[in-house]
């Protein structure tokens, strides 16, 4: 690995091999059978067509510490309504209310106050068209997706669960111009003196939704309630393709248990049997660029469970039992997030919620790189220019290391004629050729591996930046300049891929040619191969590669010039 272009070419080859291996594993590798476990286990799922029963896997409230001041009755069993195979299907004729803010159009069912439809007007499916991204829906049997919330009473089945019927003061709610907060109250009563007001709180420009329960107990007995939230989603398998980066994005349930972020695989037996106690955590249903999440009260213990039935998963957060005294009231709060993975907004809900913008194993590097890119954007107000600026800054930061590699390449290039002469002289004796080559390197004080370490150090940073560009929703449908009106889509006229191929060809001319003629011919075709491959990549990624390669050319040209001056001065 003695020149920059070879490092990137081998890296691209390794990436292509890895993507193809991943695809092969998905298509032909062994498939775990979801839900198959010991029938005696409380978390086991039969292969018979029995609807999944989350209540079976939710611990009894006796396993959770009662809230301070709760009566002994609070330790009774908490019966959370079961999640059935039809859990995502609304009852025929179920009434809904519509809430419209500047960033959300949301339908809330009066059956349980369930979020059943969410449009994101600022995020069209296809740029320039009106159809927005929709996060919740109950229209398709293969892609049902809802967010349920409620209160479970361990002593009384008549409680405001996601199956209870609420009332609302209106059918339409809208955030008026100049209004910063919109409160949408839903009311439930048991008819015996207990009233629960479930209020959704919307804030201008925010995808965060506050959820408040005010419980008024006008009876002569304590009233018990355990808050719970449940993300239910049924997704068809994603078709994988190395040219469609969305297919490799994290999709499915995820949790933060107060210490660690975990992506859960619904076809993995251990994950499908999830049942853990958590404090200061959250649950989420993820897809590329968008997420729905629930952040319960960070001070109260929760119990997280996952139940899987085929391609449908139900991820539940169950809070501890709360006691409302006779003639008293109590307010419970939690936060919901429905929308794009905007990291500033996610962090405003929970300091670890921005982990859903999943950069994988390179998160430790990708997070500061996104911070840098975000700050660059705040200055130049264009994500394409921000990519160029940050790429330049990375090049500048690594210049001392890159210069070592560049000087080694320049020395090797200067020795190319002498190397060729040695190859002609010892073409029939590889042993003598190797010995003569090493003597030449020693005489000229050239280390052919001198460029290795600097490039190895830089690779993780550049790969982390690559994933920042892939995963950050801020880049989605962001315009750059002229013909590039969406940095997350391919170049419509393939100009950037062609420029990248030309830049790679120009860079190869500045580097020492491979000693092997066959290898040299292969490397001549590499710019063409990469141009074809990059033609299907998002233009933001290609812009990054073009900028990086262009800066590498300038850097190597400058180093070659300096080496030539030094050699001329030494000969004098």
DSSP class of residue 238 equals P
d(Cα 302, Cα 59) in Å, to the nearest integer? 11
Give the per-residue pLDDT at 31. 42
Query: What's the pLDDT score for residue 294?
Result: 98
pLDDT on residue 337: 98
- Give the tokens for residue 130: 């009106």
CA separation for the pair 114, 116 (Å, rounded): 6
- Cβ atoms of 294 and 229 within 8 Å: the answer is yes
pLDDT confidence of residue 276: 96
Angle at 98 between CA 475 and CA 339, to 5 degrees: 20
Q: Which residues, at least 6 apart from 53, have a Cβ–Cβ distance to it below 8 Å? A: 82, 83, 307
Residue recorded with tokens 């500047």: 102
Instruction: Measure Cα distances from 377 to 358, 372, 383, 423, 551 in Å.
Output: 20, 9, 6, 52, 20
Query: Tokens 């907060």 identify what position?
Result: 181
| 358 close to 343: Cβ distance less than 8 angstroms | no
The domains located in the chain, with CATH, are 31-65+145-236+248-358 (2.70.98.90), 367-571 (no CATH)
Contact (Cβ atoms closer than 8 angstroms) between residue 193 and residue 208? no
Query: What is the distance in angstroms between the CA of the first residue and the CA of the last residue of the chain?
Result: 33
DSSP of 454-512, one letter per residue?
HHHHHHHHHHHHHHHHHH-GGGTT---BTTB--TTS--TT-HHHHHHHHHHHHHHHHSP
User: Cα–Cα distance between 388 and 25 in angstroms, integer?
Assistant: 36
Going by their DSSP bridges, the two strands 172-174 and 96-100 should be labelled as parallel
User: C-alpha distances in angstroms, 372 versus 89, 216, 237, 305, 329?
Assistant: 44, 49, 35, 37, 47
Q: Which residues pair with 317 in a beta bridge?
A: 229, 304
Quick: pLDDT tens for 61-111. Answer: 333 434 433 433 333 345 565 544 445 455 556 799 999 999 999 999 999
**Residues 501-539 pLDDT 10s:** 999 888 887 776 666 666 667 777 788 888 888 888 889
pLDDT at 141: 66
Q: Cβ(368)–Cβ(390) under 8 Å? A: no
For residue range 8-49, list pLDDT tens digits in order. 444 555 555 444 444 434 433 444 333 333 333 333 333 333
Least confident residue range of 69-73, 442-446, 556-560: 69-73
Least confident of 71-75, 85-89, 240-244, 486-490: 71-75
- By CB neighbour count within 10 A (0-12 exposed, 13-18 middle, 19+ buried), where does 249 fall? middle
Q: CB neighbours of 58 closer than 8 A, spacing ≥ 6?
A: 78, 80, 275, 303, 305, 316, 318
In this predicted model, what pLDDT tens digit does every residue of 259-298 receive, in sequence order? 999 999 998 999 999 999 999 999 999 999 999 999 999 9
pTM: 0.78
Q: What is the DSSP string of 134-148?
A: E--B-S-SSS-EEEE
Sequence-ordered list of residues with C-beta below 8 angstroms from that of 396, at least 6 positions apart, any chain: none
Task: Provide the 3-class DSSP secondary structure of residue 29.
Answer: coil
Q: Which of 285, 248, 242 is nearest to 115 (CA)?
A: 285
């Amino acid at each position: 690995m003695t020149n920059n272009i070879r490092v990137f070419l081998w890296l691209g080859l390794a990436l292509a091999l890895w993507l193809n291996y991943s695809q092969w594993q998905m298509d032909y590798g062994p498939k775990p059978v979801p839900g198959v476990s010991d029938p005696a286990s409380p978390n086991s799922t039969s292969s018979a067509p029995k609807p999944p029963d989350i209540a079976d896997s939710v611990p009894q409230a006796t396993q959770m510490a009662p809230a301070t001041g709760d009566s002994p009755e609070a330790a009774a069993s908490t019966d959370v309504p079961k999640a059935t195979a039809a859990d995502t299907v609304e009852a025929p004729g179920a009434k809904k209310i519509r809430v419209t803010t500047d960033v959300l159009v949301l339908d809330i069912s009066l059956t349980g106050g369930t979020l059943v439809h969410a449009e994101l007007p600022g995020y069209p499916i296809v740029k320039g068209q009106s159809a927005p991204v929709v996060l919740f829906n109950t229209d398709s049997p293969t892609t049902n997706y809802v967010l349920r919330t409620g209160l479970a009473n361990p002593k009384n089945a008549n409680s405001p669960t996601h199956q209870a019927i609420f009332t609302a003061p209106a059918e339409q709610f809208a955030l008026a111009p100049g209004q910063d907060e919109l409160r949408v109250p839903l009311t439930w009563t048991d008819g015996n003196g207990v009233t629960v007001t479930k209020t959704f709180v919307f804030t201008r420009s925010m995808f965060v939704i506050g959820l408040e329960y005010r419980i008024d107990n006008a009876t002569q007995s304590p009233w018990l309630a355990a808050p719970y939230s449940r993300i239910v989603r049924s997704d068809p398998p994603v078709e994988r393709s190395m040219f469609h980066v969305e297919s490799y994005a994290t999709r499915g349930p995820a949790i933060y248990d107060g210490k660690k972020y975990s992506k859960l695989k619904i076809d993995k037996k251990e994950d499908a049997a999830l049942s853990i106690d958590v404090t200061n955590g959250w649950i989420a249903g993820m897809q590329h660029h968008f997420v729905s999440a629930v952040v319960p009260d960070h001070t109260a213990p929760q119990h997280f469970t996952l139940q899987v039935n085929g391609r449908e998963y139900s991820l539940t957060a169950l809070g501890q039992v709360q006691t409302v005294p006779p003639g008293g009231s109590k307010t419970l709060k939690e936060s919901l997030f429905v929308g794009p993975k905007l990291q500033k907004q996610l962090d405003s809900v929970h300091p670890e919620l921005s982990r859903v913008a999943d950069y994988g194993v390179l998160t430790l590097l990708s997070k500061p790189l996104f911070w840098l890119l975000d700050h660059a954007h705040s200055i130049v107000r264009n994500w394409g220019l921000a990519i160029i600026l940050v790429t330049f800054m990375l090049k500048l930061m690594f210049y001392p290391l890159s210069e070592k590699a560049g000087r080694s390449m320049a020395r090797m290039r200067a020795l190319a004629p002498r190397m060729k002469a040695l190859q002609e002289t010892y073409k029939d004796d590889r042993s003598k050729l190797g010995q003569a080559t090493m003597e030449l390197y020693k005489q000229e004080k050239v280390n052919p591996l001198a460029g290795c370490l600097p490039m190895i150090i830089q690779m993780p940073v550049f790969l982390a930046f690559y994933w920042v560009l892939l995963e950050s929703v801020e880049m989605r449908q962001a315009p750059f300049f002229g013909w590039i009106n969406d940095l997350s889509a391919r170049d419509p006229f393939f100009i950037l891929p062609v420029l990248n191929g030309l830049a790679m060809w120009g860079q190869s001319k500045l580097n020492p040619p491979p000693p092997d003629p066959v290898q040299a011919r292969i490397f001549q075709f590499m710019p063409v191969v990469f141009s074809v491959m990059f033609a299907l990549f998002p233009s933001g990624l290609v812009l990054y590669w073009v900028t990086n390669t262009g800066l590498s050319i300038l850097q190597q040209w400058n180093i070659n010039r300096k080496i030539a001056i030094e050699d001329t001065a030494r000969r004098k």
